[in-house]
Amino acid sequence: MAEKNEEKMEFFIDMQRCIGCHACEMACAECETNGQESMIHIHYVERPVSVMTTVQVCMHCEEPACANVCPADAISVDWEGIVHSAKTSHCIGCSNCVLACPFGVPKKIEKAELMMKCNMCYDRTSVGKKPMCATVCPSQALYFGTREEILEKRPNSVPVNHFIFGKEHVRTKVNLMMPKESTILKIN
């Protein structure tokens, strides 16, 4: 596993596989740093017409808007490109990051007056384990592995990590699996 880590393990989300079971949320909340709050969220898209669900989790942007707008310099990006939760000693609970994130990920935990988000299970990935959500995900809508592995295992789809929101280009460390030949996801 440790060797594989060096081969650049990546996180892939395949929304079509999500069965809305919430195992990821419950497993995420178990982490000792999360205080029983989940950093990943599953939502129905529109339950009256479909059982389709969607996964919301930090995409770990290359140029994270959350970090850029943080007045307290509380959000850092490490050498592996992981965008970390606001440092508790710095965070002033202003919610700038909550408003700035194009994916709507950071949540302000009101009781703690702190911003919290996914840090890609640093405690697990640093010792060769997968993040907890991708470990338990029963359908493997959440997948952690190398790009080569996923291309081989899932030949009908491709990973995409380039998003366009209006005129804004966002590149992320986390990939979304999209229909074959997709390269960009444009959201107007």
Partner 1 sequence: MARLPVLPKEIIKQFGPHKNYTPKEGFPGAHEPDKLVKTHCCFCGMQCGIQLKVKDNRIVGFEPWMEFPFNEGRLCPKGVERYLQNNHPDRLMQPLQRVEGKGFEPITWDQAMERTVNEIGRIRQQYGNDAIGMLSGVSLTNEKSYMIGKFARVALKTANLDYNGRLCMVSAGAGNKKAFGLDRSSNSWEDLKHARVILIAGSNVSETFPTLIHYIWEARDHGAKLIVVDPRVTPIARTADLFLPVRPGTDSALFGAMLKILVDNDWLDHDFIASHTSGFEETIDAVKDYNLEWAEKITGVPAGRIMEAATLWGRAETSFLLHARGIEHHTKGVDNVISCINLVLATGRIGKPYCGYGTITGQGNGQGGREHGHKCDQLPGNRDITNPEHRKYIAGVWGIDEKEMPGKGLSAFEMIGAIHRGEIKGLITICFNPLVSLPDNNFVREALEKLEFFVAIDFFLSETARHADIILAGSLHEEDEGTVTTAEGRVVRIRAAITPPGQARRDSDILMELARRLGVGDKFNYGSSEDVFNELRLASKGGTADYYGITYQKIDQNMGIFWPCPSEDHPGTPRLWEDRQFKTPDGKAHFNPAPFRPSAEPPDEAYPVILTTGRVVSQYLSGSQTRRIGKLVDQYPEPLLEIHPELAAKYGIRNRDLIRVVTRRGEAEFPAQVVETIRPDTVFIPYHWGGKQSANQLTIGALDPVSKIPEFKVCACRLVSTGEKAPEKLSNTAYQSF
Is residue 140 involved in binding partner 1 (CB under 8 A)?
yes
Task: Say whether 4 sits in a helix, a strand or coil.
Answer: helix
- Identify whether the C-beta of residue 120 lies closer than 8 Å to the C-beta of residue 129: no
Q: Please tell me the number of Cα atoms within 13 Å of 68 on its side-chain side.
A: 9
Q: Which two tokens stand for residue 7?
A: 């081969």
Between the two ends of the chain, the Cα-to-Cα distance in Å is 40
Mark 39-78 with x for binding to partner 1 (rule: CB under 8 A) and - for no binding.
Answer: --------xxxxxxx-------------------------
Q: Are 15 and 24 in contact (CB under 8 A)?
A: no
Report the residue number, 153 or 186, with the smaller CB distance to partner 1: 153
Q: How far is the CB of 129 from partner 1 (least distance, A)?
A: 8
Strands (E), 26-167: 41-44, 53-56, 107-109, 114-116, 142-145, 157-165
Alpha carbon dihedral 35, 121, 23, 88, in 10-degree steps, equals 30
Q: For partner 1, which stretch binds (CB under 8 A), given 18-26, 68-76, 87-95, 98-106? A: 18-26
Query: Which one of residues 8, 19, 179, 184 is an interface residue with partner 1 (CB under 8 A)?
Result: 19
Judged by CB under 8 A, the residue of 6, 110, 155, 181 near partner 1 is: 155
Least CB distance to partner 1 at residue 113 (A): 15
Residue 138 binds partner 1, judged by CB under 8 A? yes
- Does residue 114 touch partner 1 according to CB under 8 A? no
Instruction: Summarize as ranges the residues that interact with partner 1 (CB under 8 A).
Output: 16-23, 25-27, 29-30, 32, 35-36, 47-53, 130, 132, 135-140, 153-156
